[in-house]
Structure 1
Amino acid sequence: MLNTRPTDPLRPHFYKYQGAGNDFVLIDNRNQTFQYRDNNLVHQLCDRRFGVGADGLMLLQNHSEYDFEMLYFNADGNLGSMCGNGGRCIVAFAKHLGIIDKQTNFLAVDGPHYAKISEKGNWVDLQMIDVHTISRDGEAYVLNTGSPHYVAQVTALKEMDVFKQGSEIRNNATYKKEGINVNFVEDKGDHLFVRTFERGVEDETFACGTGVTAVALAIAKDQEKTGSQVTEIEVLGGNLRVGFHYDGQEFTKVFLCGPAELVFEGNIR
C-alpha cells in the first residue's frame, strides 16, 4: 500500500528528515500544489525559531524519464545546487512513499543519480557526479562535486571557529558573488574529521554531503592515493563514507554513503 496522503495547498503535509545531522523539510509535490516559487515561504519553513527548522527544503516531483525529480532549496529560500545528504534523504523519502524499493534513478539539478537503499530504508548509497578537475587556491583545493567546495587542511579542528573563518573565505573577493562551501579537514589517521560552512545556510552545518565528498577526493589527490578507495569521515552529526575510483587524473564511481532517517511529519498552517 502506497504511503501517500492528500496535500491541501493551504495546509501542505511535510516530512522532516536528517542525514548525519544535516536536516531537511521534504514535501511530496507530485500534484504540484506547493507554491515553491514563494522564496519567503521556503525561508520561513527552514527557520529554526519561526518554522519547522532545516538546512534546506526539498520537493519530490514527477518526471517522465526518472523515478522522480529532486528540487532543492537552500535555507535562505533560493534554489540550490546539488545537496548530497539531501539526495540520500529524498531517496529514503521515496521509499517511504512507495515510489521505489531497493534502488532508484532520479534527476537532480546536476543531472541523473543512481542510489541504492537498505531494506529498512535508513541507509543510502548515493552515486555522485564524476570529478575531472581539481584546482588550487594557495594551499587549499577547489572542486565541484555537484556544488562548489573549498577544502583546507588544518589541525585542532575541534577548537576552530569554523563560522568566522568559513564566512571570511566564503565572502572574500574571489568567492563572494557566487559563493562557495568551505570545508576544514583534519586527518585522524583511520578517518577524516570534517567541519563545513555552507553557503545558502550561511552557517556551519552538522554535515555536508557534497562537502565530505569533495574532502575525500581532495585528500586522495593530495596523498596520491589511486585505485579504488573508501574514506571514513567523521562530522559533527555522525559518520559518513565516501567511495570512489581515482586513476590519477579523474574520479569516477563516486558514492556518498550514510544514514537517512525520518524524524517527524506534520501539516503546515
Structure 2
Amino acid sequence: MEFTFYKYQGTGNDFVILDNREEFFPKKDSQLVAKICDRRFGVGADGLLLLENHPTADFKMVYYNSDGNLSTMCGNGGRCIVHFANYLEIISGRTTFEAVDGMHEATINNEGVSLKMNDVETFEVTDAYTFLNTGSPHHVEMVSDLQNFDVFGEGRNIRNKIYGTDGANVNFVEKQNASTFSVRTYERGVENETLSCGTGVTAVALAMFETENTSENKLTLNTPGGQLQVRFNKIDSHYTDIYLEGPATMVFKGIWQWKR
C-alpha cells in the first residue's frame, strides 16, 4: 500500500501532513508514525499531522509527536495544516478547525498564517520559572547567553525531574529589547531541542508580560528556525485574543510505500 504525504515546516519546526479525510491511515499504529518521522529511516519530522473531516468545522487536526504518540496542541503544526487546507482548497483564506484543545480560527495571507490560540488565565510563577498551558504545558525560564546554553541537557533534566512521566516543554528565554525575546525550546515527545515551538513562543510571550519583563502586548520571538509574532489582550487576569503569527511552507510532497 502507498499514500501521498506532504512535508511542511514552520520556522524550522517540521511536519509530515496527510489528507486523511478518507480515513485510510492506521491511527493506532504508533510504530508507523515514529518510522515516518524518523530522520534516518523515514521522511523525518518533529511530528505527523492528519487532516480529517469534521461535522461542523472546516476540518479536524490530529497531531502525533515524532515518538509516535498522540500529543497536545501544536501551534506551528496548526499553522502548517491551515496552509495545507488552503492548498487542498478546503478553505479560502480563513478557517475554523478543531484540534485536541478545542476550536481554533485562522487566516492565511500568502505564506503567513495567523492562528488564534485558546485563552489563558492560570499561571504558576516562581522565582526561577513560570509554568502555563497554551494548549500544551510549558515551563518558561530566563537565562543568560542563550546562544551557548545547554538546552538539551538542562531541558531534559527539567522535563523529567520537575514534570515526571507526562513531562512538559521547556523554554529558555533571553530578552533582546522591550518587545523582542530569543527563545530555544526542548520539546517532550521529540525529546530534543526543536528549531521552533509555536505553543512555546506563545507561552513565552504571555509569561514575559505576566512577570513584567515587558509591557508590550505584541512581541517578536526569535527562534533558531526563524521569527514568530504573538499578540494578545489581557482583561483582569485573563489573556484573550491570543494570535500566533508566522510563515508556514510546503517543502515537498512524496509517496510513502507501506508494508503492513
Decide whether aligned partners of structure 1 residues 137 and 180 sit closer, same or farther in structure 2, where only a CA change above 3 A counts: farther
Task: After superposing the two structures, state which structure 1 stretch, 69-78 or 189-198, moved more.
Answer: 189-198
| Structure 2 unaligned residues grouped into runs of 5+ | none
Amino acid of the structure 2 residue aligned with 1:103: R
Amino acid across the alignment from 2:139:
Y
| C-alpha distance in structure 2 between counterparts of 1:137 and 1:20, whole Å | 30
1:252 matches 2:240:
yes
Paired position in structure 2 for 1:170: 159
Instruction: Return the offset for 1:136.
Output: 2.4
Trace 1:30-69 onto structure 2 (pairs within 5 A).
30-69=21-60
Give the deviation of 1:224 after TM superposition: 6.9
Q: Distance in 1 between matches of 2:96 and 2:137?
A: 23
Match of 2:172 in 1: 184
Q: CA deviation at 1:196?
A: 0.2
SS in 2 for 1:143: strand
Q: Which moved more, 1:247-256 or 1:20-29?
A: 247-256
2:250 maps to which residue?
A: 262
Q: In structure 1, what is the Cα distance between the partners aligned to 2:127 and 2:26?
A: 43
Q: Which moved more, 1:206-215 or 1:248-257?
A: 248-257
Q: How many Å apart are 1:248 and its aligned residue?
A: 4.3
Question: Residue 25 in 1 paired to residue 16 in 2?
Answer: yes
Counterpart code for 1:180: A
Identity of aligned residues (%): 52
Separation in 1 of the partners of 2:27 and 2:196? 25
Letter of the aligned partner of 1:44 in structure 2? Answer: K
- CA-atom RMSD, angstroms? 1.1
Give the match for residue 6 of structure 1: none
The answer for the alignment partner of 1:239 in structure 2 is 227
Provide the TM-score with structure 2 as the length reference. 0.96
The CA distance in 1 between the partners of 2:254 and 2:149, in whole Å, is 37
Secondary structure at the residue paired with 1:12?
strand
| Counterpart Cα distance in 1 of 2:2 and 2:139 | 39
Matches within 5 A, 1:190-205: 190-205=179-194
Count of aligned pairs between the two proteins: 256
Determine the structure 1 residue equivalent to 2:205: 216
* AA aligned opposite 2:196: A
Residue 114 (structure 1) aligns with: 105
Q: Distance in 1 between matches of 2:64 and 2:212?
A: 35
Contact preservation (8 Å) 1:224, 1:248 = no
Poorly superposed stretches of 4+, deviation over 3 Å:
none
1:95 aligns with 2:89: no
Q: Deviation at 1:225?
A: 5.3
Give the Cα separation in 1 of the matches to 2:59 and 2:236: 34
TM-score (norm 1): 0.93
Once the two structures are TM-superposed, the CA of residue 206 in structure 1 deviates from its matched residue by 0.1
Partner of residue 3, structure 1: none
Q: Secondary structure at the match of 1:82?
A: coil
| Contact kept in structure 2, 1:225 and 1:246, CA below 8 Å | no
Following superposition, the deviation at residue 250 of structure 1 comes to 1.5
Higher strand share: 2
Residue 247 (structure 1) shift: 2.8
- Is contact 1:14-1:268 (8 Å) kept? yes
Distance in 1 (alpha carbons) for counterparts of 2:165 and 2:42: 28
Gaps of 5+ in 1: 1-9
Which residue number in structure 1 is paired with residue 115 of structure 2? Answer: 126
Q: Distance in 2 between matches of 1:254 and 1:208?
A: 15
The residue number in structure 2 matching 1:159 is: 148
Is the 1:162–1:195 Cα contact (8 Å) retained in structure 2?
yes
